Every structure is written in C-alpha cells, then in structure tokens.
Amino acid sequence: MLAGCSTSVNYVGTSSQGVFFKVPKTWDVFDATALKSLGLAVNASANTQAADSGTSYTVYTSLAASSHRVVVKGSLNLFGATPWALANVVSFGPSDQSSMSLEGLNDLLFPLDTWQQDGLSVQQIGPTTLLVKGALRGSRVAFEAETPSGVLAFEQVAFINSPTDKAWDLAVGCSLTCFHAHRRVIDGIVKSFTVTASRS
Amino acid sequence: MAPGRALTGRRSRLLGVVAALVLGTALTACSDGHVVSSESQQLYLKVPSTWTVFGEHELSKDGAFGSLFSSAPIFATIALGTKHARPGDAFTPTGYPWAIVVVRPLSATEQSQMSLNGLRDVLFNVDTLQTEGANVESLTTPSLLVKGSLHGTLVAYEVQGSEASSALAYEQETWVNSATNKVWVLMAGCSPSCFQAQQPVISRIVQSFLVTDRGSND
C-alpha cells in the first residue's frame, strides 16, 4: 500500500501489519510486481509451509529508492550511489522466538553475524539506541558492512513485540560514500519509521 | 498453561488479599497465608502461613544469602517451609520447600542479549551448569507469559550435579519489562523428592506470584 499524504513525502507501509515510514516525494516506491521481479515479494505458499514447520518467515516487504537506478540488470544493487529503504515484517517460529534478543535484531535483515564469521568486516557506526514504545522494544543502529557482493552502509531500526513472535524493521542505506552524502535524508526516513501494531 | 487464564486466575485469587497490602515492602499474615508484597517493585506473592519469611532487613544481615548473588538485587525475599531455617538454605536441596523472590536490574550486556531462553538463567545459571557437566532435565514444557509490556517464562527443572544428594528441583516464573533492563523472578523448589511431594504447595505459590508493573515507561 502506498498513499501520498503531503507534498514533500510519500508514506510507505501497510495498515494490516501496522508499519509505516516516510520517504521523499521524489523517491520511487516499488510495487508488488517490481518486488516480485526482484525476488522480494512475500510468498504466501512458502509462508504457509514455514508456519507449518515452525520456522520464521517474512510477512511483508516494501522497498523505496531515490531512483530506479537501484536496480541494475534486474537485480537490486544495495552497494551503489542510490539510497534505498527496505522494510520487513517477520513472523518468528518457536526457535527464533526463544532465542531472539535486542542484539539479535541487528541480523534481521542482513546476516551480519554470518558475514563476520566468514571473515568479512562489519563495523557499527555510532552507538546503539534502545527504543521502547509500549509493549514494543527495539533498537536503532548503523553499520558499515563488507558483504560477499560489496560494501554497504546502512542504518536500521527494528522493533519486536512482547510475545517476541513478530518483528518490524527498516534499513536505509547505500554505498559508504553515498551513505555519508545522504545522511540527513536517511536519518529522516529512519526517524519516520512507525509501528502501530501490538503496542500494548 | 494458557497465560491469559493463569493471570486471570491469579488476579481472582489475590482479589481478597490485595486490600490488606500496605505501602512499601510488606508481609501480611492472613488466615490462609502470608502475603509478601512490594509496592515499589509492584509484586505480590502468597506463601503458607506456617512458612518462615525473611524480608530484606533480615537478608541483609545474612552473609550466606548475600553470597548467592553476584550483584545486589533491588528486592529480595525468601520464604521457607519450616520454622528452623536460614535464608542461605534457599537454592539448596532441602527436604522442605522454599521460595525466593528477586527483582534485579539487567546489565547492559544482559539487556542486549536477553532472550526468552535466557530468562531461565537470571537467578540460577542452568546453561553454565549444563556446560560444567550437570544433568539438567526440564520437568515441564516452558510456557510463554505475556501481560501488556511485560513478557516472561514459566519453567521447571531438575538439576543433578556430580552427587545424587545435590539434586535440586524447582519451578521458576520470570518476567522482564519492555526495556529489558529489569527482571522479576520467583523460584520455588527443594530436593526432587520434596518437590514431587510438595508440588501442590509449590504450584499454588507460583500461581500466586503477581507482577503489576506496567513494564513500560510510556
């Protein structure tokens, strides 16, 4: 769902999952077809299987970027000069529910721990901010990460609910140079991240 | 156990005694038991009237009790099912049941790493004991507890060290707030044979444990 609510920003999100964030009006918001072509669309049948087998699965994804140039040869380029914002809502299976911590939220969108174990450099940029909104708890933190496909920098905000069975997260980033050049815009998007679900 | 039903049950059981509570840490003798409460820590608990209850004042004088904790709790009370006991008898495989209530802050590291699984280790580190070779058996399926901004677990374990006489069985209910910087813990147990014999009493104590903190500052 996408609704334009002001002259300067677009609201991205969904009321069904209780999640919204704002991006500049000039940004492109990817629709379901575009997400599908990038392999980011929610797969209902796969989710049913995941739920049945007790594993975690993504129930919602949205993507916005300052330009369609974030897609290069049909693939999403997270490492270029085009800032992007990627949001997910994840439903946890029993195992992840039992082991999830505030620190664990860092790995929700990107497997930072795995990258580190593989010898890649993952550096936190700035302090972690603890976030508490009613029954939701979460964190806001930025990383510079060397990945198998390139180096990216991003800021991430994530919340988890009281039963610890659902998480909402948003990462906004691009290449390291781009990240610093667009720090103010990225900060504004991250700050706008709002989760209205399960607050009590 | 369905958390919602359990909490509703606790509320109704405590309805008759809440009116007797006084400000601050209190121990109120009722016909059917002692009510242990702390207004500042937002908790209530009921133990049989025949039990001996050590409040914070007595515990502060007991060196054995103090040695049980690596960091000082914000609140602690111990109740023991005998008239001749020391606070330090808690956590040990006694032939009579005991219950310990602790409220303590979580360190920054604990805050960032705490999970529902980790809540079982906040008072008695089962994970470390297992690593050191102790045999740890879960006596029930762990239950998830959710009440507003608080979440927690209800677990029961039998822990067997190198000697059979050191075996300990206990039930533990743990709550943590939304900020993940404070835990409320009730642990009730004794030796495995005692635990089996005293299961109804221990269950009633655990079911009476009520944390009324909202769990969130906003």
Q: What is the pLDDT of residues B128-155, one digit of tens each?
A: 888 888 999 999 999 999 998 999 999 9
Chain A: closest CA distance from residue B178 (Å)? 6
Contacts (Cβ under 8 Å, ≥6 apart) of A96: A55, A56
In tens, the pLDDT along A149-171 reads 889 999 999 999 999 999 999 99
CB A58 within 8 A of CB A76: no
Which of B113, B115, B151 has its CB closest to that of A162? B151
Chain B: closest CA distance from residue A105 (Å)? 10
Which of B118, B148, B180 has its CB closest to that of A137? B180
Instruction: Output the pLDDT for position B29.
Output: 54
Q: Is the pLDDT of residue A192 over 70?
A: yes
Q: How far apart are alpha carbons B28 and B49 in whole angstroms?
A: 10
User: Chain A residues with CB inside 8 Å of B112's CB?
Assistant: 101-103, 128
Instruction: Output the pLDDT for position B4.
Output: 35
Which of B112, B117, B148 has its CB closest to that of A200? B148
User: Chain A residues with CB inside 8 Å of B179's CB?
Assistant: 130, 132, 137
CB contact under 8 A, B113 and A103: yes
CB contact under 8 A, A99 and B117: yes
The arithmetic mean of pLDDT across residues A117-126, rounded, is 94
CB contact under 8 A, B115 and A98: yes
CB contact under 8 A, A136 and B117: no
Please give the share of chain A, as a percent, with pLDDT higher than 70.
Answer: 95
In tens, the pLDDT along B195-207 reads 999 999 999 999 9
Which of B115, B150, B179 has its CB closest to that of A101? B115
* pTM given for the model: 0.85
Q: Quickly state the pLDDT bin for A89 (edges 50, 70, 90).
A: very high
Instruction: Give the ranges where chain B is alpha helix by DSSP (H).
Output: 3-18, 56-61, 63-66, 108-113, 126-131, 192-197, 199-208
The arithmetic mean of pLDDT across residues A72-77, rounded, is 93
- Chain A interface disruption, residue of B117, B121, B122, B149, most A CBs within 10 A: B149
CB B21 within 8 A of CB B49: no
User: Chain A residues with CB inside 8 Å of B149's CB?
Assistant: 134-135, 162, 200
HEC profile of B126-171: HHHHHHCCCEEEECCCCEEEEECCEEEEEEEEEEECCCHHHCEEEE
In tens, the pLDDT along B87-112 reads 888 888 999 999 999 999 999 999 99
Q: Quickly state the pLDDT bin for A198 (edges 50, 70, 90).
A: low
CB A2 within 8 A of CB A63: no
Q: Is the pLDDT of residue A6 over 80?
A: no
User: Chain B residues with CB inside 8 Å of A163's CB?
Assistant: 144, 146, 151
Q: Where are the domains of chain B?
A: 3-211
Query: Which DSSP state fits A164?
Result: S
**Nearest residue in B to A97, CA atom:** B116
CB contact under 8 A, A133 and B218: yes
User: Chain A residues with CB inside 8 Å of B115's CB?
Assistant: 98-101, 104, 164
Chain B: closest CA distance from residue A138 (Å)? 8
**Nearest residue in A to B218, CA atom:** A134
Bridge partners of B146, per DSSP, are B151
* E-state strands within A15-98: 19-24, 28-29, 57-65, 71-72, 75-76, 84-91
Q: What is the ipTM of this complex?
A: 0.88
Instruction: Output the pLDDT for position B22.
Output: 30
What CATH class does A2-195 carry?
alpha beta
Q: Mean of the per-residue pLDDT values for chain B? A: 82
Instruction: Name the range with the highest mean pLDDT among A189-193, B2-6, B18-22.
Output: A189-193
Query: Domain B3-211 belongs to what architecture?
Result: 3-Layer(aba) Sandwich (3.40)
Instruction: Name the range with the highest mean pLDDT among A114-118, B120-124, B154-158.
Output: B154-158
**Nearest residue in A to B118, CA atom:** A99
Chain A: closest CA distance from residue B111 (Å)? 7
Instruction: Output the pLDDT for position B153.
Output: 97
The arithmetic mean of pLDDT across residues A42-65, rounded, is 93
**If you count residue pairs, one on A and one on B, with CB atoms under 8 Å apart, how many are there?**
62
- The answer, for A127 touching chain B at a CB cutoff of 8 Å, is no
Q: State both tokens at A161.
A: 């609910």
CB B68 within 8 A of CB B122: no
Residue B214, helix vs strand vs coil: coil
CB B106 within 8 A of CB B123: no
Amino acid at A52: D
- The answer, for B118 touching chain A at a CB cutoff of 8 Å, is yes
Chain B: closest CA distance from residue A104 (Å)? 8
Helix axes B3-18, B199-208, angle to 10 degrees: 80
